[in-house]
A and B are shown apart, each in its own frame.
Chain A
Amino acid sequence: MENKEYDVVIVGSGIAGSIVAKMLTQAGKQVLLLDAGLEAGMAFDEEGAYKNYQDYMKSYFMAQAKVPNAPYPNVKDAQSPNVLDMTQINGKPDTKGYFVQEGKLPFASDYARAAGGTTLHWLGTCLRMLPNDFKMHSKYGQAVDWPIDYEYLKPYYEMAEREIGVSCDVSEQKYPNMGNNFFGKDYVFPMLKIPQSYIDKSFIEGMEGLKVSLNGDVYTPWCTSTPQGRNSTPNKKYRYANTAWNAAKQKLELQPFAKESDEYVPVGAIWDPYSGQRCEGNASCVPICPVQAKYNALKTLKSAKKEHLTLLSQAVATEIHIDTGNGNITGVSYKQYPHADSKDYKSGTAKGKIYVLAANAIENAKILLASGACKTSGQVGCNLMDHTVLLTWGLMKDKVFPFRGPGSTTNIPTFRDGDFRKKHAAWISPIDNWGWGWPTGSPDTDLDHAVSTLNLFGKELRTYIGDTLSRQLLLHFECEQLPLKTNRVTIDDKYRDNIGNYRPVIKYDVDDYSLKAFKAAKSVSDQIFAGMGVQDFTNYPSDEPDYVDGFVFRGAGHVVGTHCMGTTKQNSVVNSQQQAWDHQNLYLVGAGNMATLGTSNPTLTLAALSFAAAENILKALK
């Protein structure tokens, strides 16, 4: 290992790192991929993969709080943040969890440091960004424009949709200002849409004809089925077999099926291709899909070309080394721990022609800061963004039977774009299928209330549960956050982990642009609830971690920014090629590159960008 020089060294086996590894190895390049997670998580043989996943399942079943990271081991040598650690910050830094939270508000999202990364517990919503999301400055006078636009990303979105296996009905997708060629003529997704839930149908019916006022304008909000990275019925009209490098054209391309009779085959579990060929309605996608009908990055990594891929697990990248002469990266140091929670480790340096950091936005920033890399712009770690999620909840008039199916199958896209973005954030509103689980901890909190406070038992208790829990409705208002220099990840010698690596030190807050959106969104929610006869139970207690100005928001798990893409080496960390301005042979991938957030969950976009990055790397390796 020590002496070998690879074509490319990749740090991180999440979706970003796995896509790059797959594309490069399939194009014949020699790749070393380091991951901080446990060896067991990297098992790809049937038995090992199955056994490890069943251990995750067992931890999930036994966990009292079934939060996103509940199934996955929290190794002291490569800790993951946990939403349970997030509390209000009162004056001094909160150091209880993995993050050191300096405030004012706690950053409320987590990620998983395990093979496969955060897609192990993502929900799988796969929306493209809108054309105007790339032009926030020229369109709305806010933040910045990207150095690339929607048209540039479009072919890569198609590659990402194939890789993830997105189920969606194109004809139903209607977004504000999407233009008339958003998907391209005749484009279809690999699989037909995931059936919308019973709740969705009641909701859509209930909202029909409703007009909503926002800032003096009147809107007729509409619903659309949500594109999702989980398996459904293959679409016979879908014609692409895979994505491959075309050396002659120096491009990545979607390859058509060889034969007319070929069809898309859903990718099943990594231990058994026949498991998870369809979403079976386990309703636990976050934190874990028992059958792997939902996409996770292990599927991509498994399909990388084995002969060209060397995997190194339990290896935590700590620093990259810079040639002071030409700025090139000469190696990545890592610490490899022998077993979970071990205090000792073996040090090593990985060497390649090109280096790719894919450890996710916060960890990428940490590695760059620890190495004194990418210093010109002064922007490393800055512009940390997340969707701030305002939740509203109530009881529907009729039973809608939540806690079934994927987490969300329908959304209200009406407020994803519009002139109001000059004043406040845009948002998307997924309709949640899992009752009040997120805001109130339902269903067990409702059970406890019924038994301990309402003093119910027996048939009365059973009826009460049947009558109330089955009417729970939850709406999200996932508001975009602007890139702010002051929302940032830093490092500090005072705060190190079990093996002496830096912990992320986070400063985070929301500005007026978000606060105004909370107000506007709540007003829209009030109008919808009133219009549909929903009994409102929303409340925002002042002792919640992210309580601000009468509202409580939650993190969406969308960790974005920190090494944004831009037009000059002064205003950004990477260029439009996702190459570090300061280091020719360093590429950063993941949501860290996103210059603004828009209203789509970031993974489809970061996956599309990862295909583009892989193409750029292949060109550079020529």
Chain B
Amino acid sequence: MEKTTAGLDAFLAISVPLTGYTRVALLATGMAQLYLDALHRIIGSAMTDEYLALTDRILKDTGGKEPALDRAIRQQLLASLQYGPITRNIIQLWYWGSWLQLPPDWVAKYGKGIKGNDNHFITPEAYQQGLIWNAMGSHPQGSKQPGFGSWSIAPMVS
């Protein structure tokens, strides 16, 4: 239990620079724990913990400051054969709510025997909480309806 909470902090901490949204905005989706659970479920706890230890180190080493943080995220996460696909999946989870199948090469090399690695929305709420809608000044199709006639004026974009 304790470990999950610790993991959650680390997961949220790296999700902030990965998504461009604040910690509060991410918490407000109500999805953080479910996404972290999805990582544990799909790539396994060992790799999840390893990943979060690495992101924790990145944040500490760079003091969370630009441009060092940006460079570290690019070099150590996105450019990494092992962690790049996971990082992209975390970004897409937040933005779209769906897990994207990790490619066969990745599975062969790093994830033999992993389960549940198919394209799927984590829960119905995951789709509804996708950040992409807010980013484009909209709302998820089929949810969070903004009310009669709202579409005829420009949205407030935060």
Contacts and interface: CB of A to CB of B under 8 A. Distances in A.
B120 interface: yes
Interface string A250-272: 00000000000000000000000
Interface string B89-133: 001100110101000000000000000000111001101100111
Contact of B147 (A196, A200, A281, A466): A281
Nearest to A200: B152
Contacts of A62: 120-121, 124, 127
A402 to B, nearest CB: 7
B96 A197 contact: no
Given A61-B121, A64-B121, A401-B155, A444 B96 contact: yes
Contacts of B151: 195, 197-198, 281, 283, 404-406, 409, 433
Given A282-B142, A403-B133, A460 B96 contact: no
A345 to B, nearest CB: 33
Given A64-B119, A404-B150, A457-B91, A462 B141 contact: no
Contacts of B92: 447-448, 451
Contact of A283 (B127, B136, B139): B139
A406 B73 CA distance: 40
Interface residues of B, number: 47
Given A198-B152, A404-B155, A458 B20 contact: yes
Interface string A7-26: 00000000000000000000
A405 B141 CA distance: 9
B136 to A, nearest CB: 4
A470 B136 contact: yes
A405 B136 contact: no
B26 interface: no
Contacts of A291: 145
Interface string A326-357: 00000000000000000000000000000000
A57 interface: yes
B148 A279 contact: yes
Contacts of B131: 462
Contacts of A403: 133, 136, 138, 141
B124 A61 contact: yes
A619 B41 CA distance: 66
B20 A462 contact: yes
Contact of B142 (A57, A433, A457): A57
Of A60, A403, A434, A460, the most chain B CB neighbours within 10 A belong to A403
Contact of A66 (B70, B137, B141): B141
A526 interface: no
A436 to B, nearest CB: 12
B152 A405 contact: yes
Contacts of B147: 280-281
B154 to A, nearest CB: 6
A198 B138 CA distance: 12
Interface in A446-476: 447-448, 451-452, 455, 457-463, 465-466, 469-470
Contact of A288 (B73, B142, B148): B142
Given A58-B124, A61-B128, A451-B88, A281 B145 contact: yes
Interface in A33-60: 57-58, 60
Contact of B17 (A196, A200, A458, A463): A458
A198 B136 CA distance: 14
Contacts of A443: 132-133, 136
Contacts of A60: 142
Nearest to B127: A61
B153 interface: yes
Contacts of B100: 448
A278 interface: yes
A462 B121 contact: no
Given A290-B142, A457-B78, A281 B148 contact: yes
Contacts of A397: none
Interface in B12-40: 17-21
A279 B147 CA distance: 7
A529 B40 CA distance: 49
Given A282-B145, A447-B95, A198 B21 contact: no
15 contacts: A58-B124, A195-B148, A280-B145, A281-B145, A281-B146, A283-B139, A284-B142, A290-B145, A404-B155, A405-B150, A461-B95, A462-B131, A466-B135, A466-B157, A470-B137
Interface of B: 17-21, 70, 73-74, 78, 87-88, 91-92, 95-96, 98, 100, 119-121, 124-125, 127-128, 131-133, 135-139, 141-143, 145-155, 157
Given A64-B120, A448-B92, A462-B20, 13 more contacts: A61-B125, A62-B120, A195-B148, A196-B152, A280-B145, A281-B147, A283-B139, A284-B142, A399-B154, A444-B132, A457-B17, A459-B20, A462-B135
Interface of A: 57-58, 60-62, 64, 66, 195-198, 200-201, 232, 278-284, 288, 290-291, 399, 401-406, 409, 433-434, 443-444, 447-448, 451-452, 455, 457-463, 465-466, 469-470
